[in-house]
Amino acid sequence: MRCPSCGSTDTKVVDSRPADEGNSIRRRRECLQCGARFTTYERSGENPIIVIKSDGSSEAFDRQKLLRGLLIACAKRPVSPDKLEALITSIENELSASQKNEINSKDLGNMAMERLASLDDVAYIRFMSVYKDFQSVEEFANALQELKR
């Protein structure tokens, strides 16, 4: 593993423990060259989930990309990064259990919105406004009316 501080590959594992409900291993590492400590996560090598985008192109599911979108929606909201990590793990677990290798980006967005709605209404509306590409105040108003029901 390459040290993020100096780039050396001479590192040692200081601590290991299960993470993501046992789906990965969190390792604390120390660089033997500069002494910097950093964390890595190890996941089992499974078949990647392919996301089919609306334009027909496809890309591998990227946990970090989804997390970035959720973090933006949750900015200045009382939603912890741990809850967002759990939300994404829940989505990954559901996709793995379905044993499908492909998912439409629309379905993936809906899975994220469903889970986000139970965490924070404002973050849910923010995520939805970008995801559904709201173009007018009326679209926001309609989404808020649906949320009240």
* Tens digit of each residue's pLDDT, the chain (149 residues): 889 999 999 999 999 998 877 778 899 999 999 999 999 988 776 677 889 988 889 999 888 999 998 999 999 999 888 899 999 989 988 888 887 888 998 899 889 988 998 898 888 888 887 777 777 778 777 777 776 66
Domain match, 31 and 99 both:
no
Domain match, 20 and 4 both:
yes
For 24-44, b where at least 16 C-beta lie within 10 A, e where not — what string? ebebebbbeeeeeeeebeeee
- pLDDT at residue 24, rounded to an integer: 82
Domain match, 77 and 115 both:
yes
- pLDDT at residue 137, rounded to an integer: 78
Are the CB atoms for 3 and 34 separated by under 8 Å? yes
Strands 24-31 and 37-43: antiparallel
What span, in angstroms and rounded, lies between the C-alpha atoms of 64 and 89? 12
Q: Six-digit token pair at 142? A: 């309609």
Number of other residues whose CB lies within 10 A of the CB of residue 137: 8
- pLDDT at residue 6, rounded to an integer: 92
Domain match, 80 and 144 both:
yes
- pLDDT at residue 54, rounded to an integer: 84
Range of the domain at 140: 46-148
Domain match, 52 and 118 both:
yes
Which residue matches tokens 């259990």?
A: 97
- pLDDT at residue 15, rounded to an integer: 93
What span, in angstroms and rounded, lies between the C-alpha atoms of 12 and 146? 53
What span, in angstroms and rounded, lies between the C-alpha atoms of 63 and 91? 10
- Entry pTM: 0.62
- pLDDT at residue 149, rounded to an integer: 60
Domain match, 83 and 123 both:
yes
Into how many domains does the chain fold? 2
Domain match, 54 and 125 both:
yes
Taking only the tens place, the pLDDT of each residue in 81-117 is 889 999 998 998 888 888 788 899 889 988 998 899 8
Domain match, 63 and 103 both:
yes
Among the three residues 45, 63, 80, which one is the final residue of a domain in this structure? 45
Which residues on adjacent β-strands are paired with residue 41?
Answer: 26
Domain match, 83 and 95 both:
yes
Domain match, 111 and 134 both:
yes
Domain match, 41 and 63 both:
no
What span, in angstroms and rounded, lies between the C-alpha atoms of 13 and 149? 51
Domain match, 32 and 77 both:
no
